[in-house]
Amino acid sequence: MLRIILFLVIVYLIVRVLKKLIRPRKQFTRPPGQTVIDQMKACPKCGTYNPSQQAHPYKGLYFCDRECLKAYQKEAV
């Protein structure tokens, strides 16, 4: 009985080592349907990159702060 358990343990260890050899690096994959939470958006006014959640969206553009948004709106008019 002890031999069987020992054999199984050895087989398990061999399988583990083989799996590591086949896939040495674990690739990080996003679960499907989950969007990127923090996309970096460039401010069209000053060119600073900001996380889209902190940026001020305006007509599909993302501004770093309200000053840039206002300046852009003034220029656009």
State which amino acid sits at residue 34. Answer: Q
Supply the DSSP string of 30-70, one letter for each residue: PPTTPPPS--EEE-TTT--EEETTTSEEETTEEESSHHHHH
Q: Which of 9/46 has CB closer to Zn ion?
A: 46
Considering only 7-15, 18-26, 27-35, 63-71, which stretch makes contact with Zn ion by CB under 5 A? 63-71
H/E run at residue 42: strand 40-42
Closest CA to 58 of 74, 77, 73: 73
Among 41, 55, 62, 64, binds Zn ion (CB under 5 A): 64
Give residues 36-55 in contact with Zn ion (rule: CB under 5 A): 43, 45-46
Q: Which of 41/64 has CB closer to Zn ion?
A: 64
If one asks whether residue 68 binds Zn ion (CB under 5 A), the answer comes out as yes
Q: Which of 37/41 has CB closer to Zn ion?
A: 41
Binding site for Zn ion (CB under 5 A): 43, 45-46, 64, 68
